[in-house]
Amino acid sequence: MTYRICVVCSGNICRSPMAETVLRARLAEEGLDGSHTVDSAGTGGWHVGEPADPRAVAALVAAGYRAGAHDHTARRFERDWFDRYDLVVAMDRGHERELRRLARHQGDAAKVVLLRDHDPDAAPDDRDVPDPYYGEDEGFAACLKIIERGVDGLLDAGVVVRS
């Protein structure tokens, strides 16, 4: 049985494609890529059909990730997608609220987690992955570091079920 994960940000061109790539890489390192699938989406439809932001791709490549966001196409998370996924990972509290609002019942809402809830470096009042979209290139590299810590925290805490 495949464990299915969707990572969600605003427009699905920066944070969530980076997190999707990092999570896929970490699962592959653990030999779990065959039993897990990872996708991403946005809460908004502004960028549907667009590729990942080139700055996000550049940050991933500079950090040594060779696959992932290069062939990404942005899409919007839809209410009925809760049936497709076992875990839905929000990049910030706004996304978490929007996803819980979309949930049809408590079972759907229970699938939603905030990426940085298990990041040991995150302060209790600072659980959001900052959006690098309106900043400089360096912001994407900094965002990627935060995402890596969050993904590692999710895996270390056992939030991602390992079959």
CATH code of the domain occupying 3-156: 3.40.50.2300
Which of 152, 151, 130 lies closest to 141 in space, CA to CA? 130
Indicate whether 163 pLDDT > 90: no
Indicate whether 44 pLDDT > 70: yes
> What residues are annotated to the active site?
9, 15, 131
| Counts of helices then strands in the chain (DSSP H, E) | 5, 4
The string of pLDDT tens digits covering residues 122-141 is: 998 999 999 999 998 999 99
Q: What is the mean pLDDT of the chain?
A: 94
CA angle 117, 122, 125 (to 5 degrees): 85
Task: Enter the pTM of the model.
Answer: 0.96
